[in-house]
């Protein structure tokens, strides 16, 4: 845009994330004038298709296809190229899909509020203003870099987005953080051929999960050659001429590891800095998230916040559901809200994947309800020949069930196809399908779903 250009929209969307683009498209189709401002031409479509779900899961796929005789570097470089081609295709599709509509305009530049309805957009030095009757903030989140001496200034430090598109495979990779992001990258890069050291500050990885599930995941990753160090306190990072030394402490014992690349996976924070929210009168939380009510309205009723920026669960599908809530406020009945969400699943894309939903066993016990447990190693599930067909029999399945009602309270599936199976369990939980009904259902054969026939037959009483 040229300097001094002034645009007005019925709906102004700041950030090209999943929820924002869904609302933009729907409102555009409804005949509303929409302007969507995105600060980077590398982020059309948001985090997921560019630096999140799509490229990481594509690398999971490519890493799993590498044969022992394949050159690690050549295979990795080719894989990164294929992933870049895929994300470029998605990015272009997202841009064209919106900007190609008569009612929607995509503007590339950094938006800063100058009042509650108006932003100034800086696009490579040129400035313009965009105002909107309704404003949506959908700017996402960014990695948090811990305050460790030498870490931020290390030339070997990479964010997850930067590592994804690095064409040189790190020979030795250290990952700080043993959450979902850290574990996924550890699995990916170990399978590509890197020596991986994962440093987690807590006593164990996956602190929210039950011990048996976390232990099963750690066993799988350790057997693949990943060095997992728990209870690690990072002391310092020192750059050398050809690598970096990470100094850390475990139980008073000081250790170090030399690496070619260092990934920080210690969480993400909402992207609100530089938005000028004070000028808009938009309040934020202590963590910098836009403060919203259950309808996702900010302290300014005409300004909504969707996705990671509002401090909620950091999942693309939550951002999409945020979009549904906002649309219901704008053109629906105004009833949908965040309290409607029940049994929201999530998946850790290691190999095999871990997918969970609902309560863990320890959480269920704390509620005081009488529970029963169904648990079985995948290798022992007779009714799941698919695991043997695809040569992946590692892992386990676990269900937590209410004794009195036979209600499924939660599940953890560490198995092939778990990312799909968990959606069936979540739907069953939302629709009130009992454990017995899920156990006795008719499933195709050979499939992973029929494992439910066996696993839910192993239920044992586990009174408080």
Q: Write out the catalytic residue numbers.
A: 445
Strand pairing class (195-200; 172-176): parallel
Rounded Cα gap, residues 60 and 377, in angstroms: 23
The C-alpha angle with vertex 193 and arms to 189 and 197, in degrees rounded to 5, equals 55
Q: Look-up: residue for tokens 């300004």?
A: 303
DSSP bridge pairs for 112: 120
The C-alpha angle with vertex 175 and arms to 172 and 176, in degrees rounded to 5, equals 145
Q: Look-up: residue for tokens 């509650």?
A: 116
Cite the beta strand spans of 72-125 per DSSP E: 104-108, 110-115, 118-123
Strand pairing class (261-264; 172-176): parallel
* Contact between residue 239 and residue 228 where contact means Cβ atoms under 8 Å apart: no
Q: Which two tokens stand for residue 266?
A: 């210690």
* Contact between residue 23 and residue 11 where contact means Cβ atoms under 8 Å apart: yes
* Contact between residue 120 and residue 114 where contact means Cβ atoms under 8 Å apart: yes
Rounded Cα gap, residues 398 and 209, in angstroms: 11
- CA atoms lying within 13 Å on the CB side of residue 142: 10
Rounded Cα gap, residues 227 and 223, in angstroms: 9
Which 3 state secondary structure label does DSSP give 448? Answer: coil
């Amino acid at each position: 845009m040229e300097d001094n250009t002034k645009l007005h929209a019925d709906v102004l969307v700041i950030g090209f994330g999943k929820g924002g683009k869904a609302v933009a498209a729907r409102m555009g189709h409804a005949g509303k004038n929409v302007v969507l401002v995105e600060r980077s031409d590398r982020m059309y479509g948001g985090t997921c298709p560019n630096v999140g779900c799509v490229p990481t899961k594509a690398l999971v796929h490519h890493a799993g296809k590498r044969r022992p005789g394949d050159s690690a570097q050549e295979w990795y470089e080719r894989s990164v190229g294929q992933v870049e081609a895929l994300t470029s295709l998605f990015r272009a599709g997202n841009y064209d899909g919106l900007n190609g509509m008569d009612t929607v305009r995509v503007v590339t530049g950094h938006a800063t509020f100058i009042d509650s309805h108006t932003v100034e957009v800086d696009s490579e030095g040129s400035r313009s203003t965009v105002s909107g009757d309704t404003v949506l903030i959908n700017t996402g989140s960014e990695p948090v870099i811990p305050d460790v001496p030498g870490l931020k200034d290390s030339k070997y430090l990479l964010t997850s987005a930067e590592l994804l598109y690095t064409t040189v495979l790190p020979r030795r990779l250290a990952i700080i953080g043993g959450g979902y992001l850290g574990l996924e990258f550890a699995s990916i890069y170990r399978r590509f051929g890197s020596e991986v050291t994962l440093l987690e500050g807590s006593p164990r990885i996956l602190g929210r999960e039950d011990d048996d599930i976390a232990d099963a995941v750690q066993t799988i990753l350790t057997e693949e050659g990943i060095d997992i160090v728990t209870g690690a306190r990072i002391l310092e990072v020192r750059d050398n001429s050809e690598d970096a030394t990470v100094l850390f402490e475990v139980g008073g014992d000081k250790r170090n590891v030399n690496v070619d690349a260092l990934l920080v996976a210690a969480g993400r924070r909402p992207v609100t800095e530089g938005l000028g929210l004070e000028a808009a009168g938009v309040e934020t939380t202590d963590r910098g998230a836009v403060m919203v009510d259950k309808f996702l309205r900010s302290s300014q009723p005409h300004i909504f916040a969707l996705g990671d920026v509002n401090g909620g669960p950091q999942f693309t599908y939550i951002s999409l559901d945020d979009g549904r809530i906002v649309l219901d406020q704008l053109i629906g009945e105004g009833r949908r809200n965040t309290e409607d969400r029940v049994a929201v699943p999530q998946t850790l894309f290691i190999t095999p994947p871990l997918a969970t939903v609902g309560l863990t066993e320890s959480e269920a016990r704390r509620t005081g309800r009488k529970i029963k447990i169904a648990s079985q190693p995948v290798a022992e599930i007779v009714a799941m020949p698919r695991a043997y067909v695809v040569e992946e029999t590692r892992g386990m399945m676990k269900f937590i069930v209410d004794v009195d009602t036979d209600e499924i309270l939660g599940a953890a599936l560490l198995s092939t196809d778990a990312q799909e199976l968990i959606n069936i369990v979540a739907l069953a939980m939302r629709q009130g399908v009992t454990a017995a009904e899920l156990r006795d259902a008719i499933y195709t054969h050979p499939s992973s779903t029929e494992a439910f026939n066996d696993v839910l037959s192993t239920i044992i009483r586990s009174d408080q």
